[in-house]
Chain A
Amino acid sequence: MNMTRRELLGAAAAGAVLTSCGKSAAPAKLVRHFPVSNVSITKAPAYDMSIYDTIYRIVSDHKLNVRGKRIVLKPNLVEFEPGTVINTHPMVTHATYEAFRKLGAAEVKIAEGPGHRRATLDLAEAAGYFATVPKFEESFTDLNLDEVAKRNIPGPVSKLKSLYLPHTVLDCDLLVSLPKMKTHHWAGATLSMKNLFGLVPGGVYGWPKNVLHWAGIAQSIVDLHHLFPRQFAIVDGIVGMEGNGPIQGTPKQAGVLVAGSDVAAVDATCCRIMGIDPAKIEYLQLARGEENLGETAFHQVGESLHTVRTPFHLIDPWKEMISL
């Protein structure tokens, strides 16, 4: 890579010169405590019909109260490239859709607002969603073009004070993040929390959703996370992406699905599977504090971490900065 760690830190320091203007002292460190939450790790070796049963069991085991509820599934749709692992596999999304329906949800919608491409339905078609999900268009909402309402961010971590957000996600009872397990050249790793960038409407903020970058990527991830307190996540780590993710990386078979209601805990667990120290991922630090990201901070159920650990290749300078 042409950008060295020194350059990356230099750019960050230059930003800090400006962003720290007017601040007199660093705030005192706040020690926070989180209830120990369940994170399930389930082996899933391939995208085949067994996924439907596997995901049904995952959702059932987490004992979510979904009967009569409105559920929104948020996969990660990014690019058209055929034969790559950029997007959440449609079978994972469809199996989750079927699981929630079977468990009595009143309504299950699939919704996404891609950050790069405007032709969302064409992108979904290229990613195999039309072929996999029957009557896909009827259950799908393009969040980039949905009606919006303004929401103030309580105690923002980023420079944002408010965001326009789509009605579809504001009105749901449970938001289910369905990301792909990928490395990310700006954030280190992109998982359930980073996937929430797709909730921000391109029709208002444009493509890419640059207001979030200016407000601080990690900080905006945390603010979005706080705006949606009722979440669940299932991370598609059957085949993830390593290297220069989230677009130009290479496939990496991890053979797992990682799930839970505490999505920061889910992401921290995914990081450990990927060989990444979650305490070094800025948005996880901000969301939970370093002291709440240790291996014993969550109750891991299903497979143990060491049996599924699959170190992902990290590009420089991330390799040096975040490897376990």
Chain B
Amino acid sequence: MTPAADTGATTPGAATPDKAPGAATAATPDKAREVLRVDGVSVSLSGRQILDGVTFAVGAGEFTGLIGPNGAGKTTLLRVILGLQRASAGHVLLNGHPRTRHNHSIGYVPQKVLLDPDMPLRARDLVALGLDGHRFGIGLPSRQRNEKVDEMLHAVDAESFADARVGNLSGGEQQRVLIAHALIARPQLLLLDEPLANLDLRSSEEIITLLDRISNGADIAVLLSAHEMNPLLPVMDHVVYVAEGRAASGTTNEVIQADVLSALYGHHVDVIRVHGRVLVVAAPGSADHAPLTVEPAVETA
């Protein structure tokens, strides 16, 4: 989150960070076919309130950024959606129905996947596991299976390293393979937990472009968590901003406002739009409220 790391993603003075306002409002969650609805979800872990009444919806083919500082509860929220974490209140609807245990309509790329260089697994093997890795038995090779894998490797531009060990790939290459792994079962919703963390700027941009292509072209809803929103501004249809366990959702212009974010943080923050970038900055007078967060008082979101 160093200021130096997030410069240059957008040309200074370029067009508004949001997509064209008309396009953004036309695709509100209510109008697009609703893939995911998170309704009043609260989570308490060992007496600590992690999430407090989080509500938002994601429509088919939409690109939604789940933005907030580290420790805001983004990962917990994704785990609730996946059914890996029980909500103490509220519920999650997938395509209008309560989620079932074995739900294959969600593809998932977790935050930290440590792929050991010694693991005898080629990129294409990992992608194939996305098809049938949850099934018992050895599984027999089939031409149809191989074709699907090749198709998916092509879709994420991973053909050139398809036969390399995944552990030997760069961070950006591994993300591509993990995305292909998550997509090959044809989910309607793709969840990614901090996929841009630890990526260099160029890899980060390539992953964003790829995800944008997926959400638009394949009509798959993308919900991506990040602590840094600027690289995502050109592609996000909606933003869900999480802070202090609370969330606000809408278009970037609706949510990234001083009054909305101040209400979330519980103290005053300023939103500065400069050179096509958005900065969320704690106001000087708010220092006495700041201890609410473990984050530094100055937040470059």
Q: Do A and B come from one complex?
A: no
